[in-house]
């Protein structure tokens, strides 16, 4: 026996495979599909026939999935990046994070000193201090992120030793 709700759920899930904002987007797609199914039901078709005709009317699942993926908002793309950073953070060991932090700090220090020296000996000397502060601010982001990863083992050891 045909179950309309199960068929609609399966069809909508095949289009929205991403976890971000999935429930909201699925509900919107389901609502639209139910409206199209209802329209065909009023024409005298059975639930199964109306569902088949509605999914044909809405288009190919593959093409719809591609279109929905294209229409992801900037907020979605930012959250995807944040999710990837979390996965990377969880997979990075504290020792390698500490080593990366040292490397990035040394590289940034060299870059700050070099750019400041270049600017001081050019016609843009008045911007040297501003550039130095901006570069320090840019360096602070990976430094604080990698420091948090490097300290997670220390926090874990402290919590388990009590």
Q: What is the pLDDT of residues 68-120, one digit of tens each?
A: 665 555 555 555 566 666 777 777 788 888 888 899 999 999 999 999 899 98
Q: Is the pLDDT of residue 2 over 80?
A: yes
Helices and strands (DSSP H and E) totals, the chain: 7, 0
Rama region for 75: left / alpha / beta (φ>0; ψ in -120 to 50; rest): alpha
* Of 11, 7, 133, 19, the residue nearest 79 (C-alpha): 19
* Segment 106-122, tens digit of pLDDT: 999 999 999 989 998 89
Number of other residues whose CB lies within 10 A of the CB of residue 103? 11
**Predicted pLDDT at 144:** 86
pTM higher than 0.85 for the full model? no
């Amino acid at each position: 026996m045909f179950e309309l709700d199960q068929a609609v759920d399966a069809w909508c899930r095949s289009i929205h495979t991403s976890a971000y904002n999935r429930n909201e987007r699925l509900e919107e797609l389901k609502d639209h599909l139910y409206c199209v199914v209802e329209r065909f039901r009023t024409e005298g078709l059975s639930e199964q026939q109306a569902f088949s005709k509605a999914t044909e009317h809405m288009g190919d699942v593959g093409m719809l999935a591609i279109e929905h993926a294209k229409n992801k908002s900037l907020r979605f793309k930012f959250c995807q990046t944040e999710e990837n950073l979390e996965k990377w953070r969880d997979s990075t060991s504290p020792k390698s994070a500490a080593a990366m932090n040292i490397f990035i700090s040394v590289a940034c220090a060299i870059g700050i000193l070099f750019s400041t020296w270049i600017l001081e000996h050019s016609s843009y000397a008045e911007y040297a201090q501003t550039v130095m502060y901006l570069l320090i601010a840019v360096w602070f982001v990976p430094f604080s992120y990698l420091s948090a990863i490097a300290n997670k083992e220390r926090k874990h050891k402290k919590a388990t030793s009590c």
